[in-house]
Amino acid sequence: MVILGIDPGTASIGYGVLKVTSPGKIRCLDCGLIKTDPQISFPKRLEKISKDFDLFLKKYQPSLVSIESVFFFKNLKTFIPVSRATGVIILGAAKRKIPIVEFTPLQVKSKIAEYGRAEKRDVQRKIRKILNYKGRFEQDDVADALGVAVCAALSLRP
């Protein structure tokens, strides 16, 4: 099973692609960022997100898309655009009939670090251990995307 994890945003969207071969056997196939230029119009940014996301769906053919849900916001000006970008991603997966699961950061922390108020670095350490990941996370968005993908993989266990 291939799981595509997404940490939504507008300037950068983290992604992580995992291969689950059996319970407890999870490896990272790819991870990184989809970036958009803040100088271009918002509709063009959404179009780029849609095209790039569609390429990932074609390339990896995931069985499941796992998205970090937007549940808390400090600034309404960022909440609305991020919600729109999330909608583009959900629509892209839905068009291909790929199941979608959403997890809050609290759920991810609880599942991975076994403590809902775990620090970001502790969760990242656990992700590295679970995936035997030696690389460096380009940004927190990448670690968050891998986190939601790992959370989905761990949720598959009987």
CATH code for the domain of 44: 3.30.420.10
Asked if pLDDT for residue 74 goes beyond 80, the answer is no
Q: What's the pTM value of the predicted model, to 2 decimals?
A: 0.91
55-83 mean pLDDT: 84
Nearby residues of 105 by Cβ (< 8 Å), 6 or more positions away: 68, 71, 72, 144
pLDDT tens-digit series, residues 112-156: 988 877 888 888 999 999 999 887 787 889 999 999 999 999 998
Q: Is 68 a catalytic residue?
A: yes
- Are 2 and 96 within 8 A, CB to CB? no
Q: Is 144 a catalytic residue?
A: no
Q: Which of 52, 68, 114, 140 is catalytic?
A: 68
* Greater model confidence, 49 or 76: 49
User: What domain range is 127 assigned to?
Assistant: 2-155
Q: Which of 30, 52, 114, 141 is catalytic?
A: 141
Q: What is the pLDDT of residue 78?
A: 76
Structural domain count, the chain: 1
Query: Strands (DSSP E) along the chain, which ranges?
Result: 2-7, 12-22, 25-35, 64-68, 100-103
Q: Is 141 a catalytic residue?
A: yes
83-111 mean pLDDT: 94
pLDDT tens-digit series, residues 98-124: 999 999 988 999 999 888 778 888 889
